[in-house]
Amino acid sequence: MKLKNYTKEGQKLPLFGIGPYLIYGIGLFTAICIILSVYVFKIGNLTGNPVWAFRITGSVFIILGFIIWFVGALKSDMDESITENKLKTTGIYAWVRNPMYSGWWIALTGISLMWHNICLIPVFFINWGIMTIVLRNTEEKWLADLYGAEYEEYKKCVNRCIPWKRRSR
């Protein structure tokens, strides 16, 4: 299955949005933090049993992140919804509003955990904050302008970044 990268006449949202810039940005930030804490300053590295806990948790997060991204990007027909200017609220989008971003964020969290370094823990929250700020100021504004009340109701029921069972309204 291949994502289409075209613009249909009358299409109101960009097919890829701010996504690549956001993901490359938090990915680069994560890599820089790993390099600085693990290899340059060499602080916060754990040894012994916590190493395995971090690696197992990291592996689970990487797999979970990939699955969420894969379903959101390649199994949801999101490109069709965008080209048809329809708000996608079913499937994975009933669990999380931004599964592609969430998947990458969760996977990057898992990658960070693989280094079993406690100095990297704040990176998870910083990345979440960056994602939240960027999405609030870009795609969420675009979607609110395009879909109005329908999108506002959807926002009340479905989390932005953390997959969770849809809340009833």
DSSP assignment string, the chain: --------TT--S-SSTTHHHHHHHHHHHHHHHHIIIIIIS--SB--SHHHHHHHHHHHHHHHHHHHHHHHHHHSS-HHHHHHTT----SGGGGT-S-HHHHHHHHHHHHHHHTT-BGGGHHHHHHHHHHHHHHHHHTHHHHHHHHHTHHHHHHHHHS-SSS--PPPP-
Instruction: Read off the pTM.
Output: 0.87
What are the pLDDT tens digits along the chain (169 aa)? 344 444 555 555 555 678 889 999 999 999 999 999 999 999 999 999 999 999 999 999 999 999 999 999 899 888 778 778 889 999 999 999 999 999 999 999 999 999 999 999 999 999 999 999 999 999 899 889 989 999 999 999 999 999 988 777 6
